[in-house]
Chain A
Amino acid sequence: MRDFCAMSATTPPRAEIGVPHRPLRRGADNALLGGVCGGLAIRLGVSERAVRVVTCVVALLWGVGLLAYFALWLTLPRTGEDRSIAGRLLGGRNRLRRVAVAVAAGALVLLVLHPFSEALLGPLSWAFLLAALALIVVWRGATAEERQRLEELGRHTPFLRSRAESTRTWALVRIFVGLVLVLLGVRLAALVSRRVDGGAPAAIFGTAFVLAGVVVLLAPWWLSLVHDLSDERRSRVRVEERAKLAAHLHDSVLQTLTLIERSADDPGQVTRLARTQERELRQWLFGPVATSRVATLAGALDALVGEIEGDYGVRVELVVVGEATLSEALTDLVAAGREAAINAARWSGAERVSVYAEVEPDKASLFVRDRGRGFDPATVPEDRHGLAVSIRERLAARGGTATVRSAPGEGTEVALEVALA
């Protein structure tokens, strides 16, 4: 039923409607199932949807519409074909014998099913049964083109076959089990409605059977639908990621490479550019995902390292243990660290400067160390004293200290500390 009722919501490309005096044919390009409704709509000059709705309603009257539909399916030629399915099956040389066999087979089926008609089969069930037989006949007689269309339809129909099922046999077994459950459930419910003494248990069982049947019928389809959706989502995400990556590489790496090419005769500039780019790319690839704009100690130090690596062409190795949002005390600490790191980059002659920061509950410390030429703190010229003093006083105001340890040839380490409230 679903096939030619519910599915009418998705209207296929419209055929010419309202052009009268055409021979009655089944529609080819406006067909949902067999094209009967589409063909009628064209012949009668009314909308397809109207014909479909009427057909569905009539189908509910003891299955009359259903039987009519299949009768027309079998006897009307498809648009563009000159013979109907019945004609194709019954035509040919042994026409008489074939008709005889078909009638005999039909009679046999009716005879076998007759005893069940009272107990199990209502008029609607009969209609369904005959429709199912008709469908088999349709399949036998359909042209390759129509078969292909039906197969396509079957692939998209909920309970016929899903990607999750590898073999047709399994699909058939599942459909059979599902249908049996549904039928049993319907029978139980019908029994209850006829004789009240069956009581609640039968009704509950009936409902349970129907539900179980529906689940068995529809589960694989639902699963594959879900699967398709997540597949689709995944590939979309992948495409977006790729676009983001390409945009980023273009803005950063490609630009820098161009700059490097242009300054090929200035080794210092090349080194600086390469360092800065490396840092930036590393941060992007491996760094923490920047979710908040809150300034933190690690963030401030990171920016500081970038600045010094860019300006002085030294490598700064930064290690941060613990983390805190940037308070005034920590801002002073970073500013002092900046002076120390710039001094190291400028005067030590070392290729690498180590910066280590640690946040503890009551204090934060920052160490800037190089393994460069070092100096004797006792012989620092007057004009460079000022710097150390200003740093020291600034930190002292925050309850902190600044200590410089250095010796010629040993490198320098500046230890800075502030108290945290």
Chain B
Amino acid sequence: MRPRVFLVDDHGLILAGLRAELADHVEIVGAADEVAAAAEMILERRPDVVLLDVHMPGGGGEAVLREVLVDAPDVRFLALSVSDAAEDVIAVVRAGARGYVTKSISAPELLEAILRVADGDAVFSPRLAGFVLDAFASEGHLGEAEVDPELNQLTPRERQVLRLIARGYAYRDVATELAISIKTVESHVSSVLRKLQLSSRYELTHWAVERRLT
């Protein structure tokens, strides 16, 4: 079954390009070029996956995420951006995006990422994997009100998976390398995503901001 995809980007050229590349493989149910219209149309059409531009006037992708996820937590978002800045990546993922890819991604890879998000899995680009490893690198220094310490540490296995992704391994390569199934890889990545979104590690935000300043 072809996933129903909604496009959000404030650049008409990008929208046209995405449509052309994806139209044969997914069902594009609509597109919007500004925050308010996007939120409204997404809530009305309930797509499976929203391809979301991070930088837009009026709050950007983060604003769309916040508006939609309150009423429709089942809509899945894949962030798509030219920015590789840590603060942008961390911000949209913390706001609820299930993955982050840059606009330089090739069409087949983008399609794969969309299908993966549609299936409820997380999509980690090498860059995002690197960010997570960096942000979760320091031991200790946990947030103050510790509800669930599990959320603030990566397991050794998750670290392994992320390292391989950062090295440019596709999910199936990771599975082969670690002699586990792709499903297991996916569940590790989803678990990391959950930690990334729910962790109270104060470093996550601080780290992302400071990364630009050092």
A contact set with B: CB distance below 8 Å? 282, 285-289, 291, 315, 317, 319-323, 351-352, 354, 356, 358, 367, 369, 371, 413
Contacts and interface: CB of A to CB of B under 8 A. Distances in A.
B37 interface: no
A358 B85 CA distance: 18
A322 B84 CA distance: 16
Contacts of B130: 319-321, 356
A321 B134 contact: yes
Contacts of A371: 168
Contacts of A369: 167-169
A187 B71 CA distance: 65
A335 to B, nearest CB: 20
Given A317-B168, A319-B127, A354-B168, 9 more contacts: A287-B85, A315-B104, A317-B126, A319-B129, A323-B214, A351-B106, A356-B130, A356-B166, A358-B133
B82 interface: yes
A362 B50 CA distance: 43
A100 B104 CA distance: 90
Interface in B170-214: 211-214
Contacts of A317: 126-127, 168
A245 B115 CA distance: 39
Contacts of A286: 83-85, 88
The 5 tightest CB contacts between A and B, nearest first, are A354-B168, A319-B130, A286-B85, A356-B167, A369-B168
B4 interface: no
20 contacts: A286-B85, A288-B213, A289-B212, A289-B213, A291-B213, A319-B127, A319-B130, A320-B130, A321-B130, A321-B134, A323-B214, A352-B168, A356-B126, A356-B130, A356-B167, A358-B133, A367-B167, A367-B168, A369-B169, A413-B167
A321 to B, nearest CB: 5
Contacts of B82: 282
Among A285, A286, A371, chain B packs the most CB atoms within 10 A around the CB of A286
Given A356-B166, A356-B167, A282 B84 contact: yes
Interface string B91-135: 000000000000010100000000000000000001101100110
Residues of B in contact with A, size category: 20 to 34
A408 to B, nearest CB: 16
Chain B contact residues: helix, strand, loop or mixed: loop
A323 B79 CA distance: 27
Nearest to B176: A410
B43 interface: no
Nearest to B210: A288
A252 to B, nearest CB: 16
Contacts of B85: 286-287
A356 B133 CA distance: 12
B60 to A, nearest CB: 14
B11 to A, nearest CB: 15
A322 B137 contact: yes
Contacts of A315: 104
A321 B137 contact: yes
B19 interface: no
A321 B133 contact: yes
A356 B128 CA distance: 12
B163 interface: yes
A281 to B, nearest CB: 9
A319 B84 CA distance: 11
Nearest to B88: A286
A288 B211 contact: yes
A418 to B, nearest CB: 17
Given A321-B137, A369-B167, A288 B214 contact: yes
Nearest to B84: A286
B128 to A, nearest CB: 9
A358 B163 contact: yes
B70 to A, nearest CB: 29
A288 B213 CA distance: 6
A351 B213 CA distance: 32
A261 B126 CA distance: 34
B163 A288 contact: no
Nearest to A355: B168
A25 B117 CA distance: 85
B84 to A, nearest CB: 6
A74 to B, nearest CB: 59
B191 to A, nearest CB: 19
